[in-house]
C-alpha cells in the first residue's frame, strides 16, 4: 500500500508522540516503540495499492500552504482489530486539500471507499490493534488530554512496502 499524508508542526508532533508514550507506559502497543525515522504522526488523505509516478509528479506540482487544524476527541475504529485515534476537526481548508489530493490519486488502483470525499474521517492514529481487554485502559491513558491546535506543515508520500517517504506538494 502507498499513501499521501499530511504532516504536523513540531509542537503537535511532539504532543502526539507524548500521547504515544502515555499509551506505551500503560502497556498499550503504540508507535512509541518504533525507532524508524518514518514513524511520525500524520493525517492520511489518500491510499492506493500503487500510486503511479505520474501521480507523484501531479502532487508535486500542487501548491501547498500550511493549514491550521484542531486535534479533537478520541475515536475507536473497528471491532475485530480496534484502532484508537484522535479526531481531526474537519475545516473547509482541510476538506479542500483532501478533495484536491483525492481527485489526483483517485485513478490509482485500490483506493478505499473510506477515503472518498464525504466518507473520510480525518484522524491521527494513536494505537493500532488494541486488544479488546485493553480498550478502556487505552482510552483512559489519553482521554484526559485536551483538544489542541496544530498546523499541517507538509505533505509526504509513503510507500509502506519499501518503507520509504518523500515530500510532495511543497510550500510555495
Inside any domain, residue 91: yes
Inside any domain, residue 151: yes
Is residue 47 within 8 A of residue 55, CB to CB? The reply is no
Tens of pLDDT, residues 85-127: 999 999 999 999 999 999 999 999 999 999 999 999 999 999 9
pLDDT at 172 over 60: no
Q: What is the DSSP letter of 116?
A: S
In order of 53, 115, 141, the CA distances from 152 in angstroms are 24, 18, 25
- Range of the structural domain that residue 51 is part of: 2-159
Inside any domain, residue 168: no
Quote the pTM value: 0.94
Main-chain phi, psi angles of 21, to 5 degrees = -70, -40
CATH of the domain at 123: 3.90.1140.10
Mean pLDDT of 53-62: 92
Inside any domain, residue 145: yes
Tens of pLDDT, residues 68-86: 999 999 999 998 889 999 9
Inside any domain, residue 33: yes
Inside any domain, residue 121: yes
Inside any domain, residue 108: yes
What is the predicted pLDDT for the residue at 152? 96
Alpha helices in 32-160 (DSSP H): 53-61, 92-105, 135-143
Q: How many structural domains does the chain have?
A: 1
Inside any domain, residue 164: no
Amino acid at each position: 500500500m502507498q499513501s499521501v499524508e499530511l504532516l504536523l508542526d513540531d509542537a503537535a508532533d511532539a504532543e502526539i508522540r507524548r500521547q504515544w508514550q502515555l499509551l506505551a507506559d500503560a502497556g498499550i502497543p503504540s508507535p512509541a516503540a518504533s525507532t524508524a525515522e518514518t514513524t511520525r504522526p500524520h493525517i492520511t488523505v489518500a491510499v492506493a495499492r500503487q500510486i503511479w509516478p505520474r501521480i507523484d509528479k501531479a502532487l508535486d506540482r500542487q501548491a501547498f500552504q500550511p493549514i491550521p487544524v484542531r486535534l479533537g476527541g478520541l475515536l475507536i475504529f473497528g471491532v475485530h482489530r480496534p484502532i484508537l485515534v484522535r479526531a481531526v476537526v474537519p475545516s473547509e481548508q482541510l476538506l479542500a486539500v483532501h478533495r484536491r489530493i483525492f481527485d489526483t490519486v483517485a485513478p490509482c488502483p485500490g483506493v478505499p471507499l473510506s477515503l472518498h470525499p464525504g466518507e473520510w474521517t480525518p484522524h491521527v492514529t494513536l494505537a493500532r490493534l488494541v486488544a479488546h481487554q485493553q480498550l478502556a485502559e487505552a482510552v483512559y491513558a489519553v482521554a484526559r488530554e485536551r483538544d489542541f491546535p496544530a498546523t499541517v506543515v507538509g505533505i509526504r508520500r509513503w510507500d509502506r512496502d519499501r518503507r520509504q517517504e518523500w515530500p510532495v506538494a511543497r510550500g510555495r
